[in-house]
Structure 1
């Protein structure tokens, strides 16, 4: 841990997370005054690998493995001649709080949305970001944003059955075609109504692939359904939408609403995350969630 920086931020994602968390940390004068560093988990694991020790290279699993090591050695926070130094392990929430459980530690900071990219999609200036991502002129982008002001809530309800199945698959630790990185296979035409027979068949596939005893299945499904119901009832369903799903839906809306009009969808999935990140206001109230957690550590 650096003697100069008060906060050491470990992140899991290579393409997006370092820029995202750099922006969050820099938005706090309290953090910047005391110093911080953002480290990609692969930077840490590569150093360990160079010493001959085997270690998972990257991702959430690797982040949590490093967290456990620092916790075991009572090194999550230390005090030296320069003052207090702490480590924050920043990871994607995904559907962990629905399907599994989350780690309760002030040093483990989950995204308020499913992942860091989803935070950008939800909290950015939508009109400005979609204009950049799809090469729309200002008037067209603003009109599109106005027509689709509730796009995230709409998607979470259209894909409710798929989201539930993905949570169920994660809870069962079932390795199959169902997961948050996959598009729905139970909706008619991807974003149409759910097909009951497909939902039932997919559920059976999940159960057949479950890593858990059959005696636990009923209670597990009840727990997943109850947790999902609470999220939807609280009007927070948009936080279940991940980075692999959102661009798909935005492309669908753009292609149907600008049919025959000039709109650029080529490489949209690659352009969209950085377009939204580029207009994200890190000084906004949404980032208070992170600023408070970072500041409390130092």
Structure 2
């Protein structure tokens, strides 16, 4: 089925005539639309007001069609500059709302301070799914575990965010620095560690040195060593506050969980990707959205004048 695309002005027109109070733009192509629809409609007042979800794949980013965060932000800037973030109709005020992945934008000063933009707490929606879902229940479902087995698996994996952030601390710091340094190398935030033996094993100082040099040498900023030191200090502050989810992209999480539960349920290496996708979907399916929706109801309430 072909996906309809609208121009920026087209979206403003559609938002005026649709029954929904909130036209919600999401950037991801996998889980974002389902996640945010379930989240928002789980709150009765938001659900009654009406929500229309717009995927990034529906966006025509003039003059070229694209998707993702850049296209969503392009629409935000257009609506802001043309005073279309809030639309006044005969019956009510309607709002354009943009739900974005936080990624690591805070480390490069790219977070937008606007009530119409709402960021994930974790770097992306997939990481939010793991932050909010019932891991014990998901493990039992995906791996067909008995109650005793799921208890054992959960005991091994329940602290996965701390354990992965600790094991990969040096690698994650390099990855987070790669965007503000505008480096062009193999260090990227969604890539698994290249400086730990066998992925999750011991830290390899020689591998770290090689990737650090590549990061610095390909940086397109002045004094990259000093800027790296500043970013490294910011990352250290996140560790000190124990907000480990702020450091982990969602796609990195399920593989590590599968690694942790291997004493209870060993997964063949070639099946890890499929099992990871299944685990994410089951985690999404068992989130208690009612608790999460209260925060977003408060955020959306800021858009209406008091």
Query: Does the CA-based 8 Å contact 2:127-2:251 persist in structure 1?
Result: no
C-alpha distance in 2, partners of 1:96/1:193? 29
1:105 corresponds in structure 2 to 114
Decide whether aligned partners of structure 1 residues 61 and 232 sit closer, same or farther in structure 2, where only a CA change above 3 A counts.
same
1:266 CA displacement: 6.6
Matched length: 287
2:197 corresponds in structure 1 to 188
C-alpha distance in 1, partners of 2:97/2:296? 11
1:36 corresponds in structure 2 to 51
1:280 CA displacement: 0.7
Secondary structure at the counterpart of residue 153 of structure 1: helix
Decide whether aligned partners of structure 1 residues 2 and 28 sit closer, same or farther in structure 2, where only a CA change above 3 A counts.
farther
Decide whether aligned partners of structure 1 residues 295 and 97 sit closer, same or farther in structure 2, where only a CA change above 3 A counts.
same
2:11 corresponds in structure 1 to none
Decide whether aligned partners of structure 1 residues 69 and 145 sit closer, same or farther in structure 2, where only a CA change above 3 A counts.
same
Ranges in structure 2 where 5+ consecutive residues have no aligned partner: 1-14
1:158 corresponds in structure 2 to 167
The runs of at least 4 aligned residues of structure 1 exceeding 4 Å deviation read: none
Query: Does the CA-based 8 Å contact 1:124-1:279 persist in structure 2?
Result: yes
1:16 CA displacement: 0.5
C-alpha distance in 2, partners of 1:160/1:288? 33
Work out whether 1:67 is the aligned partner of 2:69.
no
Secondary structure at the counterpart of residue 10 of structure 1: strand
Decide whether aligned partners of structure 1 residues 34 and 169 sit closer, same or farther in structure 2, where only a CA change above 3 A counts.
same
C-alpha distance in 2, partners of 1:65/1:138? 49
Work out whether 1:276 is the aligned partner of 2:276.
no
C-alpha distance in 1, partners of 2:290/2:183? 40
Q: 1:8 aligns with which of 23, 34, 38?
A: 23
Q: TM-score, normalised by structure 2?
A: 0.87
Decide whether aligned partners of structure 1 residues 19 and 152 sit closer, same or farther in structure 2, where only a CA change above 3 A counts.
same
Query: Does the CA-based 8 Å contact 1:91-1:111 persist in structure 2?
Result: yes
Decide whether aligned partners of structure 1 residues 205 and 184 sit closer, same or farther in structure 2, where only a CA change above 3 A counts.
same
C-alpha distance in 2, partners of 1:260/1:68? 46
Work out whether 1:54 is the aligned partner of 2:70.
no
Q: 1:253 aligns with which of 260, 265, 279?
A: 260
Query: Does the CA-based 8 Å contact 1:26-1:32 persist in structure 2?
Result: yes
1:179 corresponds in structure 2 to 188
CA RMSD in angstroms comes to 2.0
Query: Does the CA-based 8 Å contact 1:180-1:244 persist in structure 2?
Result: no
Secondary structure at the counterpart of residue 5 of structure 1: coil
1:34 CA displacement: 1.4
Work out whether 1:137 is the aligned partner of 2:146.
yes
Q: TM-score, normalised by structure 1?
A: 0.90
1:126 CA displacement: 1.0
Ranges in structure 1 where 5+ consecutive residues have no aligned partner: none
